[in-house]
Structure 1
Amino acid sequence: MMKKILLSIIVLLTLSGPVFGEINVVTSTSDLAYWVNAMGGDLVKVNSIASPNADIHFVEVRPSYMAKIAKANIVFKVGLELDKWMDQLIDGSRNDKLTIIDCSKYIKPLEVPTFKADARYGDIHPRGNPHYWIGPQNVEPILKSILEGLKYVDAENAVFYRSRMDSLISHISIDLENIRPKIQFLKGMEIVYYHDSWPYFNEYTGLIAAGFIEPYPGIPPSPSHVKELTEMIKKRGIKVIAMEPYFDKRIPQKIAEDTGAKVVTLYPSIGGKDKNESYIDWLEGNVNVLLGGLK
Structure 2
Amino acid sequence: MSSATPTALAVSPLTTPGPAGAGGRDAPAGPADRARLLVTCRDQPGIVGAVGTFLARAGANVHSLAQHSTAPEGGTFFQRTEFRLPGLAAARAQLEADFTEQVARPYGMDFTLHEERHPKRVAVLVSKTDHCVLDLLWRNRRGELPMTVAMVISNHPDLADDVRSFGVPFFHVPATRDNREQAEERMLELLRGNVDLVVLARYMQIITPAFLDGVGCPLINIHHSFLPAFIGAAPYAKAKGRGVKLVGATAHYVTADLDEGPIIEQDVVRVGHQHTAADLARLGADVERAVLSRAVRWHLEDRVARHGNTTVVL
With normalisation by structure 2, the TM-score equals 0.30
Structure with higher strand content: 2
Structure with higher helix content: 1
Larger RCO, structures 1/2 (Cα 8 Å, 6+ apart): 2
With normalisation by structure 1, the TM-score equals 0.31
